[in-house]
Structure 1
Amino acid sequence: MLLYLVFVASLITSNLHAEDTVQAIWPSYPYRVWYGADLKNKPELYPNLNVVTSGDAYDAHEAGKTNLAWIFGSNWKMDYGTGPDYWEQRFQLGRLTEKAEDGRPYAIRRAGLGMDEWTGTKHKEFYDWITEGTRLGKANQPDTFVAVWLSGGATQLYDMGYDGTIDLFLVQGYELTKDRGLGVPWTVAIERLEEFNQRGLMRKTLYSLGHVTDYANWKDDKVWNEAYLRERFEDLKRRYPDMPGISFFNAGAKNQRKYDELVQLVDRLSGEYWPALPLAEGLYTLVSQEDFQYRMEAANASETPGTTVQLGRSPYPAPAENQKWRFKSLNNGNYRIQPAYSDKLSLALDGNQVILAETDKVTEQVWRLEHTNQGYRVIPFNQQTLRLSFPNAEEGSPLTVVPPTNDESTIWAFNPEVSVLDPVPPYYQAEKATLNGNASESSSNPGSMGGYVSLHSPEDEIEFRNIDGGAGGPAVIGIRYANGQKDECTLQIEVNGTLESVDIPPTEDWRTWRTIRVPVNLRAGETNEVILHGPKEAKLSVDKITIYPAKG
């Protein structure tokens, strides 16, 4: 099969000429992703959709949307072949579409790949093949956007999120489905999201709601309606304000009219709850829609005022820190834009040239945003007839500001990012610690990181061993807990033999989690032991402990 795919791809490549090929739209925040959207026959149902991982690339492009090429995940079959070759080759072969015989005037260079899906398999080697092949492919084609549908987290997935191999995780939490035996409770969906949230990956993670259908749920006859959808969306926004969008799985219609009305409702609410403006604060890479191999970067990651801001190629692994930009709201639609590596510098104008200047409260460092269906135009506050652009689409081309144009040179796709400069503090999950007394593991309440431990008495203990104290000295231990009782309770924390009482305030209920921070002294290295002793005549749920620096 692989030899056949290589042969077909060679035909595609040989039959394409530069004038026959157009570049797809690069995905941009906020992501509103669909699988199974009917963009060929009913594009009007999806005005807020901007990314699809199924269907025809031409139909998507004509509708002003991005189509990511569908590829296998761990649903691969051993009969198809062994090893990482399939996934590596998708980065080259899956990016081009052949001219269709129905007279379509061009082929499309897709922006990326949509892997469907990373899920359970008895062939554990598939995970290694996917990881190796995807990394090799991304190294060869770093300007490839990779989205992965998945039913649960895994260390390999998290690592590929950190190093930039995967750009977007689509976490399947299909709550309502007509298919008997499918679907998961909302509590399980939240657990899946927590695996990514607590690892600092929420800016690259979407919840996937499904199944979008007018069929009743097989288990309890529930159906989607506006009140039910709003309840779920509001819960997601409350729990995960950094989640950069939402995704949906289309499962087909029982009654076409009712189904179309549901699709329109779901699409409308996706735009209402995840609007393009105001832009959420945080880190972004800015990708040129004229040529998506280029990003906005600070030259040489310099911390010198006057540093040139220019176009740079997409690097791998991971976008470089000088290609990540932190947007800070100044209210009223105004933003300060700073390089991820320094809050002492800000994007500024020097005449018509774009540079980094020492951060100050001057209008030359204030920017506004205008949203289009392809992304954003970046506008200097004090020269609002101009747009951020560049003279030539080539590496090192300095950024400038120009009058509005009709081409893509002034349009930027914004991709939310995580940063190695914002590391996730070390954490230790309670259910993986040593449990003593009647301490018991559970996962019945949502919101924990894969499970939690219930404590009922002082004899119940969670014993964390080999805790890393770094260089040693003052530190802070964060205890993530739920206390659904009306009153506070008292927990005993023992650190290397030193016992201390900690008052634990109530949370709203057992599904709501809080973190209380306790100053401690730790020994250097992985030589520390922390024991949590349960409260008297009360119950407490503990999710994990996290080690913060003393200033945290």
Structure 2
Amino acid sequence: MLDRRDLLGLSAGALTLGGLGAARASELRPAQRPRPPYRVWFQPRQFHRDMSLYRHMTIDASGWLDPALCELTGRTGLRWVYGTQNPFAENSDYWTTELAPPARTSSHLGQPFVGPGVAIDEWVPPQRPGVEQYLADGLRAAKEADPDLFLCVWYTDLREPLVKLIKDGVVDLAIVEGYTHTPERFGPGAYLAWTTCLRRCEEAAAAGTLDNTIFSFGHITDEPHIHGQRLSPEQLTERAEEIKDRYPQMPGVAFYQSDSPDTPELRELVRHCDRLSGRLWPDAPAG
């Protein structure tokens, strides 16, 4: 059985996309590109039940929400696409296809609508020879073909090919994966030390990419981790304030929501993260 990532990873070239793949550019409704501050969520699972939990969210960078729905609510929905963990790409064609307008097109607003961009999940040390270069070449070609494409990349340790893409304006937003809390069922090796998270941020500072980089907290869950501790609002506040103080150039923040069951406790934690993002990374004053 295919899981969600398998389904999202299927080549858009093999899909009809409701017969809109060949729509002329003049018929396509473009989406609004996001602007800072970026308040990002991965898998905002309760959004369709209670949008008030994500009042300050500006971007879904997981493919969880329909980009057309996001557009209607004044937010940005990005398409999910494999990164260097791609299990099958043998050249750059996968990315040039999956990032192109036909792959981002739907008719959910009553006319052809092109989603604003793509979230690459994720840029990690590649396990297969050549795949990192395929990814870099595919992103660059896609951006050259569609300069309005908004490109977001989730990453672990910063690698030189990604640095170059950020500095060349190919990648608009890079998100540091800083997951200090994971449910116990994920095992002992799934979470990071806070010092590792700060090291990843320091790598961005040293590379000069902080203006296009934000930090992601995770996993946002009310489940305990392997040592029996639960993620607390106080801990999230303390560490978010530390990130803000250390790296004021970062234009926002992100949260990775776990697949934990929907509970009142989880909802309150999500609401806390949302309010924290709005307080520390507020909108610019009007005018």
**Which residue, 78, 88, 91 being the options, matches 1:83?**
91
For 2:211 and 2:11, how far apart are their aligned partners in 1? 38
Give the equivalent residue in structure 1 for 2:129. Answer: 124
What whole-Å deviation, never above 9, does each CA across 1:24-52 have from its counterpart, x for those lacking one?
A: 22111110011101332322210100011
1:95–1:14 CA distance, 2 compared to 1 (3 A): closer
Q: Is the 8 A contact 2:12 2:103 kept in 1?
A: no
Q: Residue 196 of structure 1 aligns to which amino acid in structure 2?
A: A
Contact 1:215–1:253 at 8 Å: present in 2 too?
yes
- Cα distance, 1:63–1:191 mapped onto 2, change above 3 Å: same
Partners of 2:11 and 2:153 in 1: CA distance = 25
Q: Aligned residues, how many?
A: 273
Residue of structure 1 equivalent to 2:203 = 195
Of structures 1 and 2, the larger Rg is shown by: 1
Provide the rounded CA distance (Å) in 2 between the counterparts of 1:96 and 1:122.
28
What are the residue-to-residue correspondences of 1:45-60 with 2, within 5 Å? Answer: 45-53=53-61, 54-55=63-64, 56-60=66-70
Once residues 116 and 73 of structure 2 are traced to their aligned partners in structure 1, the CA distance between those partners, rounded to angstroms, is: 15
Of the candidates 137, 142, 156, which is equivalent to residue 142 of structure 2?
Answer: 137
Match runs of 1:33-72 below 5 Å: 33-38=40-45, 39-53=47-61, 54-55=63-64, 56-72=66-82
CA contact (8 A) 1:115 1:148 kept: yes
Matches within 5 A, 1:402-441: none
User: What TM-score do the two structures reach when normalised by structure 1?
Assistant: 0.47
1:193–1:161 Cα change, 3 Å? same
Change (3 A) 1:16 1:36: farther
* Cα shift at 1:119: 1.4
Shift of 1:244: 0.7
How far apart are the structure 2 equivalents of 1:268 and 1:143? 30
More strand by share: 1
Q: In structure 2, give the amino acid aligned to 1:183.
A: Y
Instruction: For residues 110-166 of structure 1, give each alpha carbon's deviation from its aligned partner in whole angstroms, at most 9, with x where no partner exists.
Output: 111110111133203110100111111111111111000011110101111111111
Contact 1:204 1:243 in 2 (8 A): yes
What is the letter of the counterpart of residue 191 of structure 1?
A: R
Residue 208 of structure 1 corresponds to 216
Q: For structure 1, which runs of at least 5 residues remain unmatched after alignment?
A: 278-368, 371-378, 380-552
Q: What does residue 270 of structure 1 align with?
A: 277
Q: Which residue of 2 aligns with 1:22?
A: 29
CA RMSD, Structure 1 to Structure 2 (Å): 2.3
- How far residue 98 of structure 1 moved from its aligned partner, in angstroms, is 2.4
Q: Distance in 1 between matches of 2:12 and 2:32?
A: 25
State which drifts further: 109-118 or 86-95: 86-95
Q: Counting helix residues as a fraction of each chain, which structure ranks higher?
A: 2
Instruction: Give, in whole Å, the separation in 2 of the partners of 1:23 and 1:134.
Output: 20
The CA deviation string for residues 472-509 of structure 1, in whole angstroms up to 9 with x for no partner, is xxxxxxxxxxxxxxxxxxxxxxxxxxxxxxxxxxxxxx
Q: CA 1:111–1:95 in 2, change beyond 3 Å: closer, same or farther?
A: farther
Question: How many Å apart are 1:175 and its aligned residue?
Answer: 0.3
Checking the alignment, whether the CA contact within 8 Å between 1:40 and 1:59 is kept in structure 2 is no
Find the counterpart in structure 1 of residue 193 from structure 2. Answer: 185
Q: What is the one-letter code of the residue matched to 1:150?
A: Y
Q: Which of 238, 250, 256 is 1:231 aligned to?
A: 238
Deviation at 1:18, TM superposition (A): 5.3
Change (3 A) 1:187 1:17: closer
**C-alpha displacement at 1:67, in angstroms?**
0.7
- Whether the 8 Å CA contact 1:173–1:209 is kept in 2: the answer is yes
Aligned residue in 2 for 1:259? 266
Q: Which secondary structure does the structure 1 equivalent of 2:99 belong to?
A: helix
Task: Report if aligned partners of 1:48, 1:271 keep a CA contact under 8 Å in 2.
Answer: yes
The letter of the residue matching 2:167 is: Y
Partners of 1:212 and 1:186 in 2: CA distance:
15
The structure with higher relative contact order (CA 8 Å, sep 6+) is: 2
In the alignment, residue 13 of structure 1 is paired with which amino acid?
Answer: G
Structure 2: runs of 5 or more not aligned: 1-6
> What amino acid maps onto 2:139 in structure 1?
T
- Give the SS at the match of 1:172: strand
Q: Give, as a single letter, the amino acid of the residue that structure 1 aligns with 2:242.
A: D
Match of 1:82, as an amino acid? E
SS of equivalent residue, structure 1 residue 29? coil
After superposition, the Cα gap between the structure-2 partners of 1:40 and 1:25, relative to the gap in structure 1 and judged at 3 Å, is farther
Q: Work out whether residues 11 and 98 of structure 2, in 8 Å CA contact, stay in contact via their aligned partners in 1.
A: no
1:237 CA displacement = 1.4
> By how many angstroms is 1:96 displaced?
3.0
